[in-house]
Amino acid sequence: MKKIEDRAFILLVLLATIAFAWVLAPFFGAILWGLVVALLFNSLNLRLRKAMGHRRSVASAATILFVIVIAIVPLILISTSLGHQASEIYRMLQSGELDFVLYLQRILDALPAWMREILNNFGLTDLAAARAKLTAALAQASQLIAARALGIGLGAFDFVIGVAVMLYLLFFLLRDGDDLVKRVKSAVPLRAEHKTLLLDRISVVVRATVKGGLVVAFVQGMLGGLAFWALGIPGPILWAVVMAFLSLLPSVGAAIVWGPVALYLVATGYLWQGLVLTGYGVVVIGLSDNLLRPVLVGKSAKLPDYIVLLSTFGGIGIFGLNGFILGPLIAAIFMASWEIFRKGDFADE
Protein backbone atom coordinates (compact mmCIF):
# COMPACT_ATOMS: atom_id res chain seq x y z
CA MET A 1 0.00 0.00 0.00
CA LYS A 2 2.86 2.33 0.84
CA LYS A 3 4.40 1.86 -2.64
CA ILE A 4 1.11 2.86 -4.26
CA GLU A 5 0.91 5.96 -2.08
CA ASP A 6 4.52 6.89 -2.91
CA ARG A 7 3.93 6.47 -6.64
CA ALA A 8 0.73 8.51 -6.42
CA PHE A 9 2.60 11.26 -4.61
CA ILE A 10 5.39 11.28 -7.24
CA LEU A 11 2.73 11.51 -9.95
CA LEU A 12 1.14 14.42 -8.08
CA VAL A 13 4.50 16.20 -7.90
CA LEU A 14 5.07 15.73 -11.64
CA LEU A 15 1.58 16.92 -12.58
CA ALA A 16 1.80 19.92 -10.26
CA THR A 17 5.22 20.82 -11.71
CA ILE A 18 3.95 20.56 -15.31
CA ALA A 19 0.85 22.62 -14.46
CA PHE A 20 2.94 25.29 -12.72
CA ALA A 21 5.32 25.46 -15.70
CA TRP A 22 2.29 25.85 -17.97
CA VAL A 23 1.01 28.75 -15.86
CA LEU A 24 4.41 30.46 -16.02
CA ALA A 25 4.92 29.79 -19.75
CA PRO A 26 3.80 33.30 -20.87
CA PHE A 27 6.62 34.75 -18.75
CA PHE A 28 9.25 32.21 -19.77
CA GLY A 29 11.54 34.79 -21.36
CA ALA A 30 11.26 37.20 -18.43
CA ILE A 31 12.02 34.42 -15.94
CA LEU A 32 14.96 33.16 -17.98
CA TRP A 33 16.56 36.59 -18.30
CA GLY A 34 15.86 37.34 -14.64
CA LEU A 35 17.84 34.24 -13.70
CA VAL A 36 20.63 35.15 -16.13
CA VAL A 37 20.92 38.74 -14.92
CA ALA A 38 20.84 37.59 -11.28
CA LEU A 39 23.69 35.19 -11.99
CA LEU A 40 25.74 37.84 -13.77
CA PHE A 41 25.29 40.58 -11.17
CA ASN A 42 25.29 38.45 -8.03
CA SER A 43 28.91 39.33 -7.23
CA LEU A 44 28.12 43.05 -7.48
CA ASN A 45 25.07 42.53 -5.28
CA LEU A 46 27.17 40.77 -2.64
CA ARG A 47 29.71 43.62 -2.61
CA LEU A 48 26.94 46.20 -2.27
CA ARG A 49 25.32 44.15 0.48
CA LYS A 50 28.58 44.11 2.43
CA ALA A 51 29.10 47.86 1.92
CA MET A 52 25.51 48.60 3.05
CA GLY A 53 25.64 46.76 6.33
CA HIS A 54 24.19 43.49 4.97
CA ARG A 55 20.84 45.08 4.16
CA ARG A 56 19.70 42.69 1.48
CA SER A 57 16.72 44.62 0.16
CA VAL A 58 18.64 47.88 -0.20
CA ALA A 59 21.55 46.13 -1.94
CA SER A 60 19.18 44.33 -4.33
CA ALA A 61 17.41 47.59 -5.20
CA ALA A 62 20.74 49.31 -5.84
CA THR A 63 21.85 46.46 -8.10
CA ILE A 64 18.61 46.67 -10.08
CA LEU A 65 19.07 50.42 -10.50
CA PHE A 66 22.56 49.76 -11.85
CA VAL A 67 21.17 47.18 -14.32
CA ILE A 68 18.54 49.67 -15.51
CA VAL A 69 21.12 52.41 -16.08
CA ILE A 70 23.75 50.35 -17.89
CA ALA A 71 21.54 47.90 -19.79
CA ILE A 72 17.84 48.68 -20.09
CA VAL A 73 18.00 52.43 -20.77
CA PRO A 74 20.69 52.05 -23.50
CA LEU A 75 18.68 49.18 -25.01
CA ILE A 76 15.57 51.38 -25.24
CA LEU A 77 17.53 54.25 -26.80
CA ILE A 78 19.20 51.95 -29.33
CA SER A 79 15.86 50.32 -30.18
CA THR A 80 14.27 53.73 -30.79
CA SER A 81 17.11 54.83 -33.09
CA LEU A 82 17.03 51.45 -34.81
CA GLY A 83 13.33 51.82 -35.55
CA HIS A 84 13.86 55.25 -37.09
CA GLN A 85 16.76 54.08 -39.25
CA ALA A 86 14.94 50.92 -40.35
CA SER A 87 11.96 53.05 -41.45
CA GLU A 88 14.30 55.38 -43.35
CA ILE A 89 16.04 52.47 -45.08
CA TYR A 90 12.65 51.04 -46.04
CA ARG A 91 11.56 54.41 -47.44
CA MET A 92 14.78 54.70 -49.48
CA LEU A 93 14.25 51.19 -50.85
CA GLN A 94 10.70 52.00 -51.93
CA SER A 95 11.69 55.32 -53.51
CA GLY A 96 14.64 53.80 -55.37
CA GLU A 97 17.31 55.82 -53.53
CA LEU A 98 18.72 52.47 -52.45
CA ASP A 99 18.84 49.91 -55.24
CA PHE A 100 20.62 46.73 -54.22
CA VAL A 101 20.20 45.29 -57.70
CA LEU A 102 22.07 48.28 -59.14
CA TYR A 103 24.80 47.82 -56.54
CA LEU A 104 25.07 44.15 -57.46
CA GLN A 105 25.30 45.09 -61.14
CA ARG A 106 28.20 47.43 -60.40
CA ILE A 107 30.02 44.70 -58.49
CA LEU A 108 29.46 42.22 -61.33
CA ASP A 109 30.73 44.72 -63.89
CA ALA A 110 33.92 45.14 -61.90
CA LEU A 111 34.62 41.41 -61.73
CA PRO A 112 36.89 39.64 -64.23
CA ALA A 113 35.16 37.96 -67.19
CA TRP A 114 36.09 34.45 -66.01
CA MET A 115 34.52 35.08 -62.60
CA ARG A 116 31.33 36.46 -64.16
CA GLU A 117 31.18 33.33 -66.31
CA ILE A 118 31.38 31.10 -63.25
CA LEU A 119 28.62 33.06 -61.51
CA ASN A 120 26.53 32.92 -64.66
CA ASN A 121 26.84 29.11 -64.77
CA PHE A 122 25.29 29.02 -61.29
CA GLY A 123 22.54 31.44 -62.27
CA LEU A 124 23.81 34.17 -59.97
CA THR A 125 23.82 36.95 -62.57
CA ASP A 126 20.10 37.03 -63.38
CA LEU A 127 19.51 40.55 -62.11
CA ALA A 128 16.03 40.80 -63.65
CA ALA A 129 14.84 37.93 -61.49
CA ALA A 130 16.58 39.45 -58.49
CA ARG A 131 14.82 42.78 -59.09
CA ALA A 132 11.44 41.05 -59.39
CA LYS A 133 11.99 39.14 -56.16
CA LEU A 134 13.10 42.31 -54.36
CA THR A 135 10.05 44.24 -55.58
CA ALA A 136 7.73 41.44 -54.50
CA ALA A 137 9.44 41.26 -51.11
CA LEU A 138 9.05 45.00 -50.58
CA ALA A 139 5.37 44.86 -51.50
CA GLN A 140 4.81 41.95 -49.15
CA ALA A 141 6.71 43.70 -46.37
CA SER A 142 4.63 46.87 -46.71
CA GLN A 143 1.41 44.84 -46.52
CA LEU A 144 2.72 42.93 -43.52
CA ILE A 145 3.69 46.10 -41.68
CA ALA A 146 0.29 47.67 -42.38
CA ALA A 147 -1.58 44.55 -41.30
CA ARG A 148 0.41 44.10 -38.11
CA ALA A 149 0.68 47.68 -36.94
CA LEU A 150 -1.55 46.86 -33.96
CA GLY A 151 0.42 43.69 -33.31
CA ILE A 152 3.65 45.68 -33.18
CA GLY A 153 2.09 47.96 -30.57
CA LEU A 154 0.93 44.99 -28.54
CA GLY A 155 4.39 43.47 -28.87
CA ALA A 156 5.90 46.63 -27.40
CA PHE A 157 3.39 46.44 -24.54
CA ASP A 158 4.29 42.79 -23.93
CA PHE A 159 7.96 43.78 -23.91
CA VAL A 160 7.34 46.39 -21.21
CA ILE A 161 5.39 43.86 -19.15
CA GLY A 162 8.16 41.31 -19.60
CA VAL A 163 10.84 43.77 -18.44
CA ALA A 164 8.73 44.69 -15.40
CA VAL A 165 8.29 41.01 -14.48
CA MET A 166 12.00 40.38 -15.00
CA LEU A 167 13.00 43.26 -12.70
CA TYR A 168 10.46 42.22 -10.06
CA LEU A 169 11.75 38.65 -10.09
CA LEU A 170 15.35 39.89 -10.14
CA PHE A 171 14.85 41.71 -6.86
CA PHE A 172 13.92 38.52 -5.02
CA LEU A 173 16.56 36.44 -6.80
CA LEU A 174 19.25 38.87 -5.67
CA ARG A 175 17.87 39.20 -2.15
CA ASP A 176 17.12 35.52 -1.49
CA GLY A 177 19.28 33.81 -4.12
CA ASP A 178 21.48 31.92 -1.67
CA ASP A 179 18.50 30.34 0.08
CA LEU A 180 16.85 29.48 -3.25
CA VAL A 181 19.98 27.73 -4.52
CA LYS A 182 20.19 25.66 -1.35
CA ARG A 183 16.54 24.64 -1.67
CA VAL A 184 16.97 23.66 -5.31
CA LYS A 185 20.10 21.64 -4.58
CA SER A 186 18.40 19.82 -1.71
CA ALA A 187 15.32 19.05 -3.83
CA VAL A 188 17.17 17.63 -6.86
CA PRO A 189 17.46 13.82 -6.45
CA LEU A 190 21.10 13.53 -7.50
CA ARG A 191 24.35 12.89 -5.70
CA ALA A 192 25.96 15.94 -4.13
CA GLU A 193 29.01 15.79 -6.42
CA HIS A 194 26.80 15.46 -9.50
CA LYS A 195 24.65 18.42 -8.46
CA THR A 196 27.77 20.49 -7.85
CA LEU A 197 29.21 19.57 -11.26
CA LEU A 198 25.98 20.35 -13.12
CA LEU A 199 25.30 23.64 -11.32
CA ASP A 200 28.90 24.78 -11.78
CA ARG A 201 28.73 23.92 -15.48
CA ILE A 202 25.44 25.78 -15.87
CA SER A 203 26.86 28.84 -14.12
CA VAL A 204 30.02 28.82 -16.23
CA VAL A 205 28.18 28.39 -19.53
CA VAL A 206 25.66 31.15 -18.78
CA ARG A 207 28.43 33.56 -17.84
CA ALA A 208 30.48 32.53 -20.87
CA THR A 209 27.54 32.88 -23.23
CA VAL A 210 26.41 36.27 -21.98
CA LYS A 211 29.72 37.89 -21.06
CA GLY A 212 31.73 36.34 -23.86
CA GLY A 213 28.88 36.55 -26.37
CA LEU A 214 26.77 39.63 -25.73
CA VAL A 215 29.66 41.87 -24.70
CA VAL A 216 31.82 40.88 -27.66
CA ALA A 217 28.82 41.18 -29.98
CA PHE A 218 28.06 44.64 -28.63
CA VAL A 219 31.67 45.74 -29.12
CA GLN A 220 31.86 44.35 -32.65
CA GLY A 221 28.52 45.88 -33.59
CA MET A 222 29.56 49.24 -32.17
CA LEU A 223 32.91 49.16 -33.99
CA GLY A 224 31.22 48.21 -37.26
CA GLY A 225 28.54 50.89 -36.84
CA LEU A 226 31.19 53.54 -36.21
CA ALA A 227 33.02 52.51 -39.38
CA PHE A 228 29.82 52.67 -41.44
CA TRP A 229 28.96 56.07 -39.94
CA ALA A 230 32.45 57.44 -40.72
CA LEU A 231 32.19 56.20 -44.33
CA GLY A 232 28.72 57.71 -44.78
CA ILE A 233 26.92 54.40 -45.30
CA PRO A 234 23.14 54.74 -44.70
CA GLY A 235 21.67 53.23 -41.54
CA PRO A 236 24.82 52.69 -39.44
CA ILE A 237 22.82 51.77 -36.30
CA LEU A 238 20.76 49.25 -38.26
CA TRP A 239 23.86 47.59 -39.69
CA ALA A 240 25.56 47.74 -36.28
CA VAL A 241 22.70 45.74 -34.77
CA VAL A 242 22.86 43.23 -37.65
CA MET A 243 26.62 42.83 -37.15
CA ALA A 244 26.13 42.41 -33.40
CA PHE A 245 23.61 39.60 -33.93
CA LEU A 246 25.88 37.84 -36.42
CA SER A 247 28.80 38.19 -34.00
CA LEU A 248 26.89 35.98 -31.55
CA LEU A 249 27.58 33.04 -33.84
CA PRO A 250 31.15 31.70 -33.80
CA SER A 251 32.80 31.17 -37.17
CA VAL A 252 30.27 33.50 -38.82
CA GLY A 253 30.83 37.00 -37.50
CA ALA A 254 30.22 40.53 -38.66
CA ALA A 255 32.27 40.02 -41.83
CA ILE A 256 29.07 38.88 -43.57
CA VAL A 257 27.97 42.54 -43.41
CA TRP A 258 31.11 44.62 -43.76
CA GLY A 259 32.77 42.28 -46.28
CA PRO A 260 30.25 42.80 -49.14
CA VAL A 261 30.15 46.54 -48.38
CA ALA A 262 33.93 46.76 -48.67
CA LEU A 263 33.78 44.79 -51.93
CA TYR A 264 31.14 47.16 -53.29
CA LEU A 265 33.20 50.23 -52.37
CA VAL A 266 36.25 48.83 -54.17
CA ALA A 267 34.23 47.72 -57.21
CA THR A 268 32.56 51.11 -57.62
CA GLY A 269 35.73 53.18 -57.51
CA TYR A 270 35.87 54.07 -53.82
CA LEU A 271 39.16 52.26 -53.51
CA TRP A 272 40.61 53.78 -50.37
CA GLN A 273 37.29 53.58 -48.50
CA GLY A 274 36.98 49.89 -49.38
CA LEU A 275 40.57 49.16 -48.35
CA VAL A 276 40.17 51.09 -45.11
CA LEU A 277 36.97 49.21 -44.27
CA THR A 278 38.65 45.88 -45.08
CA GLY A 279 41.69 46.61 -42.93
CA TYR A 280 39.52 47.97 -40.12
CA GLY A 281 37.25 44.93 -40.29
CA VAL A 282 40.08 42.42 -40.19
CA VAL A 283 42.29 44.13 -37.63
CA VAL A 284 39.88 45.94 -35.31
CA ILE A 285 36.53 44.13 -35.59
CA GLY A 286 37.94 40.68 -36.28
CA LEU A 287 40.56 40.69 -33.52
CA SER A 288 38.25 42.15 -30.86
CA ASP A 289 36.81 38.67 -30.27
CA ASN A 290 40.25 37.14 -29.75
CA LEU A 291 41.26 39.92 -27.36
CA LEU A 292 38.08 40.30 -25.32
CA ARG A 293 36.70 36.77 -25.01
CA PRO A 294 39.66 35.28 -23.07
CA VAL A 295 39.57 38.26 -20.67
CA LEU A 296 35.80 38.12 -20.12
CA VAL A 297 35.35 34.37 -20.07
CA GLY A 298 38.57 32.45 -19.71
CA LYS A 299 39.64 29.44 -21.73
CA SER A 300 38.30 26.88 -19.27
CA ALA A 301 34.71 28.14 -19.67
CA LYS A 302 34.47 27.60 -23.42
CA LEU A 303 32.60 24.83 -25.15
CA PRO A 304 34.07 23.65 -28.46
CA ASP A 305 33.28 26.18 -31.19
CA TYR A 306 31.37 23.67 -33.30
CA ILE A 307 29.17 22.74 -30.32
CA VAL A 308 28.48 26.42 -29.61
CA LEU A 309 27.66 27.09 -33.26
CA LEU A 310 25.29 24.14 -33.68
CA SER A 311 23.59 24.56 -30.30
CA THR A 312 23.15 28.31 -30.81
CA PHE A 313 21.59 27.85 -34.25
CA GLY A 314 19.37 25.07 -32.97
CA GLY A 315 18.41 26.96 -29.83
CA ILE A 316 17.43 30.09 -31.74
CA GLY A 317 15.45 27.98 -34.20
CA ILE A 318 13.44 26.39 -31.37
CA PHE A 319 13.26 29.07 -28.68
CA GLY A 320 13.81 32.28 -30.64
CA LEU A 321 16.17 34.84 -29.09
CA ASN A 322 16.10 32.95 -25.77
CA GLY A 323 17.76 30.06 -27.59
CA PHE A 324 20.98 32.08 -27.66
CA ILE A 325 21.35 31.05 -24.02
CA LEU A 326 19.26 27.89 -23.88
CA GLY A 327 21.00 26.19 -26.81
CA PRO A 328 24.55 26.23 -25.36
CA LEU A 329 23.10 25.60 -21.88
CA ILE A 330 21.36 22.41 -22.99
CA ALA A 331 24.54 21.38 -24.80
CA ALA A 332 26.57 21.92 -21.62
CA ILE A 333 24.16 19.85 -19.51
CA PHE A 334 24.25 17.14 -22.18
CA MET A 335 28.05 17.02 -22.17
CA ALA A 336 28.26 17.12 -18.36
CA SER A 337 25.72 14.30 -18.04
CA TRP A 338 27.61 12.12 -20.49
CA GLU A 339 30.86 12.96 -18.71
CA ILE A 340 29.35 11.56 -15.48
CA PHE A 341 28.02 8.53 -17.39
CA ARG A 342 31.40 7.89 -19.02
CA LYS A 343 33.19 7.92 -15.68
CA GLY A 344 30.71 5.38 -14.38
CA ASP A 345 30.36 7.00 -10.93
CA PHE A 346 26.58 7.10 -11.14
CA ALA A 347 26.02 3.45 -10.25
CA ASP A 348 25.02 2.29 -6.81
CA GLU A 349 27.91 1.44 -4.60
> Residue 62 — pLDDT band, cuts 50, 70, 90?
very high
Q: Residue 152 pLDDT more than 70?
A: no
Q: Which has more confidence, 52 or 126?
A: 52
- Average pLDDT for 203-208: 77
Most confident by average pLDDT, 86-90, 111-115, 125-129, 340-344: 340-344
Q: Residue 297 pLDDT more than 90?
A: no
- Structural domain for 244, as ranges: 191-343
279 within domain boundaries: yes
The fraction of the chain above a pLDDT of 90, given in percent, is: 5
126 within domain boundaries: no
159 within domain boundaries: no
246 within domain boundaries: yes
- CB atoms inside a 10 Å sphere around CB 224: 30
62 within domain boundaries: no
175 within domain boundaries: no
Sequence-ordered list of residues with C-beta below 8 angstroms from that of 280, at least 6 positions apart, any chain: 223, 227
- pLDDT for the residue 19: 92
Sequence-ordered list of residues with C-beta below 8 angstroms from that of 164, at least 6 positions apart, any chain: none
pLDDT tens, position by position, 246-255: 777 655 677 7
CA distances from 202 to 15, 161, 333, 336, 339 (A): 26, 27, 7, 9, 14
163 within domain boundaries: no
237 within domain boundaries: yes
- pLDDT for the residue 151: 45
Contact indicator for 331, 303 with CB cutoff of 8 Å: yes
Q: Provide the whole-model pTM.
A: 0.67
Could you give the number of structural domains in the chain? 1
